């Protein structure tokens, strides 16, 4: 039984499951977690079997019946702030772990992933202290009246199934509000990025979070940990961020015991660039939305619609900007784009690159795998890629690729731009670039997505609702909207 990770920064530590406040060697199999930058082994990970998942869920249920179940909102807020402080105290450890797991540039992770991972706990510590409910005075036949008021109670044990693209940030985005509301969680991080969720177990103990409130079980999806967890009858709610196909499978599992779900799923996001935009801002913002995190961002842009008068200039300027991206060592400050998460994912993205060429796309830049010197030759790097000339019916234009690529097409009218942006089974996010404020409001109201940015991208107030429409998700996260999922409302009627 391991009481600590014992060397997240050392060579090939064994990551154990974190159950009931301890690191335990539950499960008989291990799997490899490899660095996508060079293919090196980062750590061996203990796969949780069904009995380990049973133990984690049981620990969470015990926690709800113990002291954690009697904590006040004020007490939970204090503990959450201690967790945030603990992440920041161990900033360098979290940064190193996140970079080794994902390969993303340290400059990106140090400014977004780790600070936001900590900030999520502070945000929801504030939120729980200001959460309100409804009260109604009603008439009764005897004239005395009655008072109705609602109370919020924790939903119970929450299964948190996490993606690999922003491991700490998106995991804490779910864990923080769940704990703020008084729930206990069982986290299944992606098998690609298991380390920071495991390291957070140590921080939870240091902060004084009671045993069983935060649990981590490692493994895969079907026939493994993910399926054991989402089908478990002791789980009261499931939250998931990831691809739509996986969300569909989890939803089927949730139906067995009629559990609620909160999903943020796939996207094929569009940007709409009008001729009256500030072209410098539009190029800078589109560069980020297409190529940030090697295109592995659910909110990223893979379809770009540009008004015809500026189409050629936009394509040439985006090409020039993409040509300046530097691939390589994530700890080198000059590196601006890391690898894809794995060789398997690179094969998937390259298959779309091949489809684009086969369909007759004009490859503006990229379109393949780069030739890099050692030690990066074995990494999962891929070329930033821009296409033009494909029809809207092409799979490259319609299907989520999740890589550093986009297709750019011209449009001639506002109505055409809106129609083409909405012609998708997904509805997660969009960016509109225009200096015409009236047009911005008009177009934003017509785009069928959960979030629309105007003259920006990835700008988030964490109190606002976040989520997708169509096949991009169910429910909303952020601020009070997160609290709606992690609590149940009960009405109390008092006869006066």
Q: What is the mean pLDDT of the chain?
A: 96
pLDDT (tens digit, 9 = 90+) per residue, 206-238?
999 999 999 999 999 999 999 999 999 999 999
Listing DSSP states for 87-134 in one string gives: HHHTHHHHHHHHHHHH---HHHIIIIIHHHHHHHHHHHHHHHHS----
70-84 pLDDT, tens digit per residue, is 999 999 999 999 999
pLDDT classification of 7: cutoffs 50, 70, 90: very low
The domains found in the chain, sorted by start residue, are 14-265+473-495 (3.40.605.10), 269-462 (3.40.309.10)
pLDDT at 5 over 50: no
CB-based burial, 435-461: b 16+ in 10 Å, e otherwise: eeeeebeebbeebbbbbbbbbebbeee
**Which residue numbers are catalytic?**
264, 298
pLDDT computed for residue 28 by the predictor? 80
| Residue 426 CB neighbours (<10 A) | 25
pTM of the model: 0.95
Specify the pLDDT at position 2.
Answer: 32
pLDDT cut 70: percent of the chain above it: 98
Where does the pLDDT of residue 4 fall: very low under 50, low under 70, confident under 90, or very high at 90 and above? very low
In this predicted model, what pLDDT tens digit does every residue of 97-151 receive, in sequence order?
Answer: 999 999 999 999 999 999 999 999 999 999 999 999 999 999 999 999 999 999 9
pLDDT class of 12 with cuts at 50, 70, 90: low
Cα–Cα distance, 351 to 382 (Å, whole number):
12
Q: What is the pLDDT of residues 292-301, one digit of tens each?
A: 999 999 999 9
Please report the DSSP string for 242-291 in residue order.
S-HHHHHHHHHHHHTTT--EEEE----EEEEE-TTS-HHHHHHHHHHHHH
What contacts 41, CB < 8 A, 6 or more positions away?
12, 32, 33, 34, 35
The candidate with the shortest Cα–Cα distance to 240, out of 218, 204, 266, is 266
* pLDDT for the residue 159: 98
pLDDT band of residue 8 (cuts 50, 70, 90) is very low
Three-class SS of residue 369? Answer: coil
- Closest by CA to 132, choosing from 148, 114, 118, 151, is 151
Instruction: Give the pLDDT confidence of 371-396 residue by residue, as tens digits.
Output: 999 999 999 999 999 999 999 999 99
If residue 43 lies in a helix (H) or strand (E), which one and from where to where? strand 41-46
pLDDT at 444 over 50: yes
Tell how far CA 333 is from the center of its chain.
Answer: 25
pLDDT at position 27, please?
79
Q: Which whole-number Å values give the CA distances from 407 to 321, 389, 417, in the listed order? A: 15, 8, 14
237-252 confidence digits (pLDDT tens): 999 999 999 999 999 9
- The dihedral built from the CA positions of residue 91, 93, 94 and 99, taken in this order, carries a sign that is positive
Average pLDDT over every residue of 334-343 = 98
Quick check: 148 and 135 in contact, CB under 8 A? yes
- Give CA–CA dist 363/386, Å, rounded: 6
Contacts of 461 (CB under 8 A, 6+ apart): none
């Amino acid at each position: 039984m391991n009481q600590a990770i014992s060397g997240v920064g050392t060579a090939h530590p064994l990551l154990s499951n974190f159950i009931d406040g301890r690191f335990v060697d539950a499960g008989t199999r291990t799997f490899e977690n490899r660095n996508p930058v060079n293919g090196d082994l980062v750590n061996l990970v203990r796969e949780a079997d069904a009995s380990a998942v049973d133990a984690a869920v049981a620990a969470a249920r015990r926690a709800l019946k113990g002291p954690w179940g009697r904590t006040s909102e004020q007490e939970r807020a204090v503990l959450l702030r201690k967790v945030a402080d603990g992440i920041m105290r161990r900033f360098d450890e979290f940064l190193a772990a996140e970079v080794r797991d994902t390969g993303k540039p340290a400059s990106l992770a140090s400014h977004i992933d780790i600070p936001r991972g900590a900030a999520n706990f502070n945000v929801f510590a504030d939120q729980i202290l200001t959460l309100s409910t409804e009260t109604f005075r009603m008439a009764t036949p005897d004239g005395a009246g009655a008072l109705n008021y609602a109370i919020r109670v924790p939903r119970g044990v929450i299964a948190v199934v996490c993606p690999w693209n922003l491991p700490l940030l998106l995991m804490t985005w779910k864990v923080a509000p769940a704990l703020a509301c008084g729930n206990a969680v069982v986290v299944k991080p992606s098998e690609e990025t298991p380390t920071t969720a495991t390291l957070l177990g140590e921080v939870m103990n240091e902060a004084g979070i009671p045993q069983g409130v935060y649990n981590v079980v490692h493994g895969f999806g079907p026939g493994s940990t993910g399926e054991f967890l989402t089908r478990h009858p002791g789980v009261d709610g499931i939250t998931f961020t990831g691809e739509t196909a996986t969300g569909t499978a989890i939803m089927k599992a949730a139906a067995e015991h009629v559990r609620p779900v909160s999903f943020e799923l796939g996207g094929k996001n569009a940007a709409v660039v009008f001729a009256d935009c500030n072209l410098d801002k539009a190029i800078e913002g589109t560069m980020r939305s297409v190529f940030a995190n090697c295109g592995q961002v659910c909110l990223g842009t893979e379809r770009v619609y540009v008004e015809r008068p500026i189409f050629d200039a936009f394509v040439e300027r985006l090409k020039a900007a993409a040509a300046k991206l530097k691939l390589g060592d994530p700890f080198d400050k000059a590196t601006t784009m890391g690898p894809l998460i794995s060789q398997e994912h690179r094969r998937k993205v390259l298959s779309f690159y091949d489809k684009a060429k086969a369909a007759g796309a004009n490859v503006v830049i990229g379109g393949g795998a780069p030739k890099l010197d050692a030690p990066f030759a074995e990494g999962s790097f891929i070329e930033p890629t821009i296409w033009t000339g494909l029809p809207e019916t092409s799979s490259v234009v319609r299907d989520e690729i999740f890589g550093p690529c986009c297709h750019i097409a011209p449009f001639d009218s506002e109505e055409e731009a809106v129609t083409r942006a909405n012609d998708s089974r997904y509805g997660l996010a969009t960016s509109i670039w225009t200096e015409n404020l009236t047009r911005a409001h008009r177009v934003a109201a017509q785009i069928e997505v959960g979030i629309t940015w105007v003259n920006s991208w990835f700008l988030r107030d964490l109190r606002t609702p976040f989520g997708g429409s169509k096949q991009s998700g169910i429910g909303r996260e952020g601020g009070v909207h997160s609290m709606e999922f992690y609590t149940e409302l009960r009405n109390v009627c008092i006869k006066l």
